[in-house]
A and B are shown apart, each in its own frame.
Chain A
Amino acid sequence: MKSDDFLSKNISNITHLLESVMSAEDLCRAPGLLQGLDARVKVATVVLFIVVVGLARSLPILGGIFALILVFVVLSKIPLGIFLKRILIFIPIFTAVIAIPALFVTPGAPLVTAGSKVIITEQGARTAGLLVLRVTDSLSFGILLVLTTRWTDILAALRWFRVPSLFVAVLGMTYRYIFLLLHTANSMFLARRSRTLGTFSGRENRRWLGQALGTTMAKSQHLSEEVYLAMLSRGYRDEGLALNSFTLRRRDFLWAAFALATASMLLWSNWR
């Protein structure tokens, strides 16, 4: 393979990722419906909605939930195009590819027939539809949470929900250093590419990648030691403290009541 392809692919991947995270952080500050809510309430209701999506067993309910998500998106001042691009590009299309064979192999009442031969069964269509809609709905709720909540607030909310401090602290620091390491890696790829005139063999590229990864790993180890010493010298005592103080406002209660009512209504119509 051409070395240029492989390097460019990695560079563009990493750059896209960094960009998408940056744009998400901008959206968290927009004055929308979900941005104005308490992070704890948001985390809890999003989880509730995802569970409802998991339990739903009919296409209309799952379709209705997606419509509701789009309303939330508009009310939270997230550009619909950006949201749909983020949601639909990756997982649901992939899921659709997985679901397509189910259209044809699931036995059941005929939906599409060619002559006397049943091609697509009703059960098959339902199976595929359920899977794709369910995946889209759950994914949308997760993305909605991230697009409207600052990372530090999510971490503080996790801490409030009694997630062990070790996990929350590691989660928080990991997120920070991911960007540093991605940046370092991107510089490596760029440096390599700017020095490349001809083409390298795949073998050569693989060896280089092994070295790049190995070096990054050794760097992370070195960095962790330095970070630890820096933390220690600033009085770190192996315990994290979240500085956020949460306050529940009227709209948080309203939102929670709305979420509970919607969830119970959906579940009621689900099992009716």
Chain B
Amino acid sequence: MHIPDGYLSPATCGVMYGAAAPFWYVAATRVRKALTGRTVPVLALFAAFSFVLMMFNVPLPGGTTAHAVGGTLLAIVLGPWAAVIGISTVLGIQALFFGDGGLMTFGANCFNMAIVLPLVGYFIYKVLSSNSEATSTRRLVAAVLGSYVGIVAAAFFAGVELGIQPTLFHTAAGVPLYAPYGLSKALGAMVGGHLLVAGPVEALATGLVFAFLQRTHSSLVKADVPGKKEGKIWLLWGALGVVALATPIGLLASGTAWGEWGVDELKDLGLGFIPSGMQRFADWWPAPLPDYSLARMGAVIGYILSAFVGIALTALLLYLFGRMLTRKGKDLATEQSPSERDAPV
């Protein structure tokens, strides 16, 4: 999911830096308050761990291996805001040293993987695991589901960022300047790929580590402060709302590519070329036409609406699922294999 430089337009990259900045700010202030002097070493060690985790090949049932991100796991153990900074650090090092992700796309990558992923993952974990024992199966299921939904949500945002590129940024002749595939294809590939492959890998890795921590280091697993829970949940709802509002940010970003709906319409009609009159019209695309602002607002509202509908549906489903789990928690517990307490080394 690391988007390299060149896939997103500079305008989108700028907007994504802007979208990530408030989260970084909140994360930095909260983490400093919570960890005091320990902040730097704790974050550094866990960021280093998460780098190592991303390096590991997880053996999959099909006989292949794949990588995990581990963002939700980090959020569970460290708290969501510390995870935001920890994963951002890892993404920075990966972009700088290993060419994994880019410098311009750093904001976008952080938004997807260091902000959306741990916040969504942690939120779901929190909702599903509330009031459960540190070693309960419900907590394990919550971690697994949280990591799965978290990574799929991150992929959704990555898909939107990539998918809006060809519509917003192309030459007068219709040649996409950055990522070439439209919203439907980009979203399909990103979300589909993560629903089927990367999501299960993430869930598997999270589940394996979480189950081990439950057996041997249960103090790491239950980090919530009693009594403060309610406030935290509302905070997360707020964060989620902001994230959803940020969905159409790419659309808001650029005043470009506006005179070009005609070109797209022509393409839809099956024409392989653009008439010279159209071309002339398309040439002054950087000037935003006021007439279109209504249509544009429509697109923005559409984005926000679909984001909120999606979140509401997910939340509802998870709530119902959580209710179901609380009732059937004991039945599920029997599926657990007998625990083994031996450490690997």
Binding site for B on A (CB under 8 A): 1, 6, 9-10, 13-14, 17, 21, 24, 46-47, 50-51, 53-55, 57, 86-87, 90-91, 95, 99, 101-102, 106-110, 118, 121, 123, 126-128, 130-131, 134-139, 142-143, 145-146, 154, 164, 166-167, 169-178, 180-182, 185, 187-188, 191-192, 202, 205-218, 220-221, 223-225, 227-228, 231-232, 236-238, 240
Bits for B70-94, please: 1 = Cβ < 8 Å to A, else 0: 0001000100000001101110110
A221 nearest in chain B by CB position: B220
Q: How far is the CA of A262 from the CA of B104 in the complex (A)?
A: 20
B binding-site residues for A, Cβ under 8 Å: 4-7, 9-10, 13, 24, 28, 31-32, 36-49, 51-53, 55-61, 63-65, 73, 77, 85-86, 88-90, 92-93, 95-99, 102-104, 171, 173-181, 204-205, 207-209, 211-213, 216-217, 220, 267, 272-273, 340, 342-345
Task: Tell me which residues across on chain B come within 8 A of A145, comparing CB atoms.
Answer: 96
Residues of A within 8 A of B37 (CB): 228, 232, 236-238
Q: Check if A138 sits within 8 Å of B176, measured CB to CB.
A: no
Chain B residues closer than 8 Å to A9, beta-carbon distance: 57, 65
Chain B residues with CB below 8 A from A107, complex form: 174, 267, 272
Which of B85, B180, B205 has the most C-beta atoms of chain A within 10 angstroms of its own C-beta?
A: B180
Query: When the two chains form their complex, are residues B5 and A139 in contact, meaning their CB atoms are under 8 A apart?
Result: yes
Contact A217/B6 with A6-B59, A170-B40 known, Cβ cut-off 8 Å: no
Contacting residues, chain B, for A109 (C-beta < 8 A): 272-273
B209 near A108 with CB under 8 A, answer no
Given A21-B97, A55-B10, A210-B208; A173-B40 close (CB under 8 Å)? yes
Q: Is the CB of B175 within 8 A of A126?
A: yes
Smallest distance from the beta carbon of B268 to chain A beta carbons, Å?
10
Number of A-B contacts (CB under 8 A): 279
Task: Tell me the smallest distance from the CB of B214 to a CB of chain A, in Å.
Answer: 9
A166, B39: Cβ atoms closer than 8 Å: yes
Q: Which residue of B lies closest to A237 (CB)?
A: B37
Determine which of A181, A188, A211 lies in contact with B49 in the assembled complex, contact meaning CB atoms within 8 Å.
A181
Q: Could you tell me the distance between the alpha carbons of A202 and B62 in the complex, rounded to whole angstroms?
A: 9
Q: Determine the residue in chain A with the shortest Cβ distance to B58.
A: A209
Given contacts A137-B6, A166-B28, contact A224 B44 (CB under 8 A): yes
Closest A residue to B211 by CB, please name it: A210
A174 x B177 contact (CB < 8 A): no
A157 to chain B minimum Cβ distance, whole angstroms, is 12
Give Cα A259–Cα B48 distance, bound, in whole angstroms: 35
Please judge, given known A-B contacts A102-B180, A130-B177, A188-B344, whether A221 and B46 are in contact too, CB under 8 Å: yes
Minimal beta-carbon separation of B178 from chain A (angstroms): 7
On whether A220 and B45 interact (CB within 8 A), knowing A182-B55, A206-B59, A210-B212, the answer reads: yes
A134-B51 contact given A10-B57, A24-B97, A202-B63, CB 8 Å threshold: no
CB of B180 within 8 A of CB of A99, answer yes
Most chain B CB neighbours (cut-off 10 Å) among A109, A110, A138, A236: A138
| Residue of B whose beta carbon sits closest to that of A236 | B37
* 6 contacting pairs across A/B (C-beta < 8 A): A139-B6, A170-B86, A174-B93, A209-B58, A212-B345, A214-B212
Contact of A138 among B5, B44, B177 (CB under 8 A): B5
B-chain residues with CB within 8 Å of residue A91 when the two chains form the complex: 4, 99
Please state if A135 and B180 are interface contacts (CB–CB under 8 Å): no
Do residues A135 and B38 form an inter-chain contact, with CB atoms below 8 A? no
**Which of A55, A171, A176, A182 touches B92 (beta carbons < 8 Å)?**
A171
